[in-house]
Amino acid sequence: MSDAPEILWTPDAAKAAESSMARFARAAGFVPGDVAALHRWSVEEPAAFHALLWDHTGIIGEKGDVAVRTGATLRDTRFFPNARLNYAENLLREPDERLAIIAHRDDGTRRALTRRQLYDLVSRIAQALRAEGVGPGDRIAAIVTNDIEAIATYLASAAIGAIWASCSPDFGPAGASDRLTQIEPSVLVAVPSYGYAGKSFETSASIEAVAAAESVRKIVLLGAKTRDYGKASVALDDWLAPFAPGPIDFHRQDFHAPMAILFSSGTTGKPKCIVHSGGGLLLQHKKEQQLHCDLSANDTLFYYSTCGWMMWNWLVSGLASGATIVSYDGNPAYPKSDRLADLIDSERITVFGTSAKYIDSSNKGGCAPKTTHTLASLRMILSTGSPLLPQNFDYIYQSWKADVHLGSISGGTDICGCFLGGNPLLPVRRGEMQGPMLGMDVAVLDATGKKVIGQTGELVCRNAHVSMPVGFWGDDDGSRYRAAYFERFEGLWAHGDFAEERESGGFVIQGRSDTTLNPGGVRIGTAEIYRQVETIPDVLEAVAVGQDWQGDQRVVLFIRLREGVTLGEELEKLIRSRIRSGATPRHVPARIMTVAEIPRTRSGKISEIAVRDTIHGRPIGNDTALANPECLAAYRNLPELAH
């Protein structure tokens, strides 16, 4: 069993008592401090829980008289089967003079819209889309940056019942085409160029690749039109010129009606098109934001994301709680490493979200905002994308702010939400996520399907949840959807994470189960190795993979070292010793090798699968899913790994 880790933060009793989570607990008939009882009720009484959640979070729409209709299987369960609602109507509520969006770019550009101005812009875009013949169920594809126009077009798409799918412009022509042409869009919205770290990049090749799809009738450019793309195209300002702002005719539809398509990383083949409903996204995000993050109209919410990552959709949903959202397009460390800390102070950000990779890089780069910024407004930091290592919990409290709620959260594009995360009523323990989200019956199972605590296993969700996708686009019989989540443990949602539930009630993610190491038949999560290696200052990052070896598997560790450092005998001994003492002897790699770069997906996650396949001489399923596929050349045909 794991010893209880150190408590790094405890909620202020008075603030906790007034939190949205505490008010929800009291409304449900529970003492706010009994978090376990509240969670147990939320999964054992789903109808009562979801009915109260709808009311507490202030959903606009026709609720209907049934909150949950249980199906024969988890995926057949329906929430609010008689409800009618519109996602955008909920986000554009109360169009007044409060700030809705503050948009920053890494070149220093700042723009802002009030809630009234955003409503008016969405009104004009919705009218223009309808004039193009776009209606419920039609797809709108987007190659866009995280900026005001992208957010407004996303909301206009939702307002008229269309289905939105976006990717960031750095995906390139093949990456954009692989994703967006699958869904047969009628309209393509795109930026003709974008900036990053002081450089400008054209997107014409990506636009042409997607516009080549027969279904595309119109290209709307979020910028000046400087060329033709083989299809009718128009700049946004010219497209909107005929339309004046007015009341929006929101298309209310079924709770489970498709509203957005998100894409899997695609590292093993063409990306899966994961279809999400407007009702599911709205209720899931409001639950996570209002209850688990205590978000309200008094908050300013930031999450660093591109439009190709689910956290962009999550950020935009903050408008539904009345919060001001802050978007950022470009390099988060340009022109200086504490650029985002500047934003916290200048915009008085209260809830700041980023990736675990950003926190780790800031730590290793010596960024210490606590000594250079006030961070007076900041009350919560969110981290996701990969496991947040224990030493980076320390870093936040030592180098950012001592009195801050650090919420390490975990979920995925598959649910566009979280299974695990923060809770304003619970303490933060070093290296742990605080616990499961309400309504999510999360457990860790061993290979036999038995629930285990204090040991690693497969993370599953044992109940239906509102953020389960509608399905996969083009998967008419649902077979790919079933195979992806419901066949590993019959009838349960297996998320593909290797995890541990602690006695404290907290959770630790040990890595993806499809990249779990298996030397000598013992399953090891890669994050267990990274936690030890990355405590060594000279090691910037690492990737561990299993190599087939003499009828078994051995662990191979690739490391990227600080500039000027070489892998000598002493450093190698230190790495092995640190892994052995901090984990187990089975975690110690058979080979340790240095590389100049580690492959990552475009959302910044280490691609262990790409490294594993490369060292075995297997083809990479889809290298357009990688931000830096050229680095894989360094992993090919290595004599040190020859049999």
pTM of the model: 0.89
Q: pLDDT value at position 3?
A: 65
Q: Which of 240, 266, 292 is the last residue of a domain?
A: 240
CATH, residue 225:
3.40.50.980
Q: Residue 581 belongs to what H/E stretch?
A: helix 569-582
Evaluate whether 544 touches 526 at the Cβ level (below 8 Å): yes
Q: Is 41 domain-assigned?
A: no
Last residue of a domain, one of 223, 240, 257: 240
Is 322 domain-assigned? no
Residue 48 lies in a domain: no
**If you count them, how many residues does the chain have?**
643
For the chain, which residues score pLDDT lower than 50? Answer: 1-2
Domain boundary among 240, 264, 285: 240
Residue 199: its H or E element: strand 199-202
User: What whole-number distance in Å separates Cα of residue 157 and Cα of residue 512?
Assistant: 34
Question: Taking a C-beta distance cutoff of 8 angstroms, is the pair 4, 502 a contact?
Answer: yes
Q: CA–CA separation, 61 vs 277, rounded Å?
A: 15
Whether 319 is covered by a domain: the verdict is no
For the domain that residue 560 is a member of, what is the CATH number? Answer: 3.30.300.30
* 3 state SS of 221: strand
Check: CB of residue 470 under 8 Å from CB of residue 275: yes
The answer to whether residue 215 is domain-embedded is: yes
235 falls within a domain: yes
Question: CB-based contacts of 300: which residues, under 8 Å, 6+ apart?
Answer: 102, 323, 324, 325, 326, 347, 348, 349, 350, 351, 377
582 is in which domain, residue-wise? 516-641
Tally of structural domains, the chain: 2
Query: Does 460 reside within a domain?
Result: no
pLDDT of residue 332: 96
Does residue 504 sit within a domain? no
Place of tokens 């089975």: 586
Residue that is written with structure tokens 């450019």 in the block: 221
* Helix runs in 330-401, H state only: 339-347, 356-364, 369-372, 390-395
**Distance (Å, rounded) from C-alpha 157 to C-alpha 217?**
16
Cβ atoms of residues 44 and 68 within 8 Å: no
The DSSP 8-state label assigned to residue 437 in this structure reads P
Instruction: Give the strand pairing for 435-436 and 417-421.
Output: antiparallel
pLDDT reported for residue 268: 62
List, as one string, the DSSP characters of 466-490. Answer: TTS-SEETT-TTSHHHHHHHTTTTT
Which residues face 166 on adjacent strands? 142
- 562's enclosing H/E stretch is none
